Amino acid sequence: MVYAIDVANVEKKYGSFTALAGVSLQVEEGEFFALLGPNGAGKTTLISTLAGLTHPSAGTLKVMGHDVVSHYREARKALGIVPQEIVFDPFFSVRETLQFQAGYFGIARTAQLDSWIDELLAKLSLTDKADKNMRQLSGGMKRRVLVAQALVHRPPVIVLDEPTAGVDVELRQTLWSFIRELNTKGHTILLTTHYLEEAQQLCSRIAMMKLGKIVALDTTDHLLSAFSERVLRVKLAGELPQPLASQRIKQEGKAENCWHYFSIHDYNEVEVLLCRLREAGAVITNLEVTEPELEEVFVKIMNQNDSSVGHAT
């Protein structure tokens, strides 16, 4: 089977410092995959190695079956990367920037290319900026151009390294709408982000890195169910009846402003618990059901020392 991204036992050392310590993962074609971790975990080093910006000290990396070292031309053509840092040529307009970027991949200036560039500009709300010099754009607009640059040669695999860092809500919504569309059409997406709610909503599988190692790798649903929980919290007019106190996992506030927390596995348990509260004479003044959150999962896994936690395919 040919994976969109295939990383096998990759190590990267800078002198005595190990940035990547035997990283292995596979991303299937058409997946929306998240690579998460705290600052310094090795995410950007892994992406730089995948892009050919730095060579691995050991191990292999392949993009659509092409080794990034021995078949680097094919691997580069199959990959589009949106970098974390905003980098641009101050002497070109937006359209010229995209035309030159296409040229780096051997794509000639044709009506077909111009049509694709126009489509990218429209999808990213850059049409009115097409002939503006890059220096005239705001930071958010420059980031949109970086996305267009990564896509202009139509790569099947797209890597987004913190694409929404420091951008406004409009750009975030525009970007994710377009990226979802590309994923629906078969593009493979690898996302790194510190906005964990984005990863939870968008990605079907997640890998978490810590100190250069993969410490968790599983589907989003499995990680949420294994390390987080659904919670019912209720506010009562009065005290919680004693028979139910033993089921409470937490409480916040005092007297009439007290919230009582109960762990539930599915929504059927909500009905049962509310019935028991009413039977015990409790009067419910407010209630909420909170869903499992990836942030909670992330914190728990990062605080564990066992590097084998959470591994699955």
In-domain check, residue 87: no
Residues 49 and 185 in one domain: yes
Residues 218 and 308 in one domain: yes
How far from the centroid of its chain's Cα atoms is residue 186's Cα? 17
How far apart (Å, rounded) are the C-alpha atoms in residues 202 and 197? Answer: 9
pLDDT of residue 255: 64
pLDDT of residue 310: 45
Token match 């968790």: residue? 216
pLDDT of residue 305: 54
* 59 Cβ neighbours under 8 A, 6+ residues apart: 7, 8, 9, 10, 11, 22, 23, 24
pLDDT of residue 225: 83
In-domain check, residue 86: no
pLDDT of residue 309: 44
Look at the chain and report how many structural domains it folds into.
Answer: 3
Per residue of the chain (313 residues), what is the pLDDT tens digit?
899 999 999 999 999 999 999 999 999 999 999 999 999 999 999 999 999 999 999 999 999 999 999 999 999 999 999 998 888 888 899 999 999 999 999 999 999 999 999 999 999 989 999 999 999 998 888 989 999 999 999 999 999 998 887 778 888 888 899 999 999 999 999 999 999 999 999 999 999 999 999 999 999 999 988 887 788 888 888 888 888 888 888 888 776 678 888 888 778 888 888 888 888 888 888 888 888 889 989 998 999 854 444 444 4
pLDDT of residue 256: 66
Residues 16 and 113 in one domain: no
Torsion angle of C-alpha atoms 47, 207, 18, 49, degrees rounded to 10? -20
Nearest to 64 by CA among 49, 74, 51, 55: 74
Residues 218 and 172 in one domain: yes
Residues 123 and 108 in one domain: yes
Nearest to 281 by CA among 229, 228, 243: 243
pLDDT of residue 269: 86
In-domain check, residue 276: yes
Residues 100 and 125 in one domain: yes
How far apart (Å, rounded) are the C-alpha atoms in residues 80 and 266? Answer: 41
Whole domain around residue 247: which residue ranges?
A: 231-290
As given in the structure block, the two tokens for residue 163 are 């694409």
**Order of strands, edge to edge, in the sheet holding 157-161?**
79-82, 157-161, 188-192, 32-36, 205-210, 213-219
Residues 173 and 55 in one domain: yes
In-domain check, residue 183: yes
Tell me, what CATH number does 217's domain have? 3.40.50.300
Residues 7 and 60 in one domain: yes
In-domain check, residue 41: yes
In-domain check, residue 84: no
How far apart (Å, rounded) are the C-alpha atoms in residues 262 and 241? Answer: 14
As given in the structure block, the two tokens for residue 237 are 């007019």
Residues 213 and 276 in one domain: no
Residues 2 and 62 in one domain: yes
